[in-house]
């Protein structure tokens, strides 16, 4: 028996999300979404099926802020029961689909919505255009400076090295504090990650003007996956005291690379 998945998502999740100001936007090629707009800031929740199996469903949190990575389910939820990480088993019946949505609803209420609500519009206002230009044009050279400073020799892209890199970075986290020197180090760190993205994901940089005020920032473009676009200098600066966010982003990139290689 067929049923309308979009209607179920709208009714079950919408019952919760409408109380927080989220509006159901319907379905597009990614999945079904809810969004809330405040000034220039858009907070969003995306529900989607696994592309190779319609009996698996997941959720991601996102914003329109340059550099704020998407939060996959495993970053805030713990009730996933699907055969793949990040996914719930939603079966093929209407009853099973509703059960999966109720689990997602509970996770959004407990952890997902609070994550989105701490992200504020003032986080998108600061754009250091001179640093963005330097990142866009000289990321390879700046990356070398960063690797020398933190004694990073092995740059093979794997989980063990990611852990090793961030162990060294965490040990000198105080150097990233709010100062001119700290900003320059954030620039080098952003260049290091940009260098990895360009090498591992066949990405490239462009200097892009922000639509509503024309301020220019370095944007990462990758034809293989949109995930690269989640990285920016702004995110490095914003999360300089929460290095695990940047580490999780690189791990997500590694997962995406491995997924693409297996297809």
CB atoms within 10 A of CB 51: 8
The Cα–Cα gap between 249 and 230 comes to 8
In angstroms, what CA-CA distances link 82 with 16, 36, 49?
Answer: 23, 29, 11
- Taking Cα atoms as reference points, which of 127, 129, 134 lies closest to residue 40? 127
Q: Give me the count of residues in the chain.
A: 263
Q: What is the pLDDT of residues 138-183, one digit of tens each?
A: 999 999 999 999 999 999 999 999 999 999 999 988 888 877 888 8
DSSP string, 200-212: HS-EEEEEEE-TT
- Taking Cα atoms as reference points, which of 205, 198, 189 lies closest to residue 246? 189
Residue 173's DSSP bridge partners are none
Q: What is the mean pLDDT of residues 129-133?
A: 90
> 123: pLDDT confidence band, cut at 50, 70 and 90?
low
**Is the pLDDT reported for residue 134 higher than 80?**
yes
**Is the pLDDT reported for residue 126 higher than 80?**
no
Q: Please, how many CA atoms are within 13 Å of residue 255, restricted to the half-sphere of its CB? A: 12
* Cβ-contact 8, 98 below 8 angstroms: yes
> 230: pLDDT confidence band, cut at 50, 70 and 90?
low
> 124: pLDDT confidence band, cut at 50, 70 and 90?
low
Q: What is the pLDDT of residues 181-217, one digit of tens each?
A: 888 999 999 999 999 989 988 889 999 887 767 888 8
Residue 55's DSSP bridge partners are none
* Cβ-contact 89, 100 below 8 angstroms: yes
Q: What is the mean pLDDT of residues 228-240?
A: 76
Residues near 159 by beta carbon (within 8 Å), at least 6 away in sequence: 251, 254
Query: Has this prediction a pTM greater than 0.75?
Result: no
**Is the pLDDT reported for residue 125 higher than 60?**
no
The Cα–Cα gap between 244 and 71 comes to 13
Helices (H), 42-128: 94-107, 113-117
Q: What is the pLDDT of residue 107?
A: 93
């Amino acid at each position: 028996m067929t049923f309308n998945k979009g209607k179920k998502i709208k009714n079950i999740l919408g019952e919760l999300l409408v109380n927080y100001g989220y509006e159901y936007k319907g379905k597009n090629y990614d999945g079904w979404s809810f969004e809330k707009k405040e000034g220039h800031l858009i907070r969003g929740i995306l529900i989607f099926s696994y592309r190779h199996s319609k009996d698996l469903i997941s959720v991601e949190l996102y914003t329109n802020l340059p550099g704020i990575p998407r939060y996959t389910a495993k970053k805030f939820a713990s009730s996933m029961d699907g055969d793949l990480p990040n996914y719930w088993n939603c079966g093929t019946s209407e009853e099973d689909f509703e059960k999966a949505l109720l689990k997602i609803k509970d996770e959004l209420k407990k952890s997902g919505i609070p994550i989105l609500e701490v992200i504020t519009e003032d986080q998108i206002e600061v754009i250091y255009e001179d640093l963005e230009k330097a990142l866009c044009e000289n990321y390879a050279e700046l990356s070398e400076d960063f690797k020398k400073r933190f004694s990073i020799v092995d740059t093979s892209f794997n989980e063990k090295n990611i852990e090793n890199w961030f162990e060294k970075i965490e040990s000198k986290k105080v150097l990233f504090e709010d100062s001119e020197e700290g900003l320059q180090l954030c620039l080098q760190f952003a260049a290091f990650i940009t260098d990895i993205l360009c090498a591992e994901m066949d990405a490239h940089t462009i200097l892009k003007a922000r639509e509503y005020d024309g301020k220019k920032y370095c944007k990462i473009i990758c034809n293989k996956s949109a995930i690269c676009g989640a990285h920016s200098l702004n995110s490095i600066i914003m999360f300089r005291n929460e290095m695990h966010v940047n580490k999780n982003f690189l791990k997500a990139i590694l997962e995406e690379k491995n997924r693409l290689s297996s297809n």
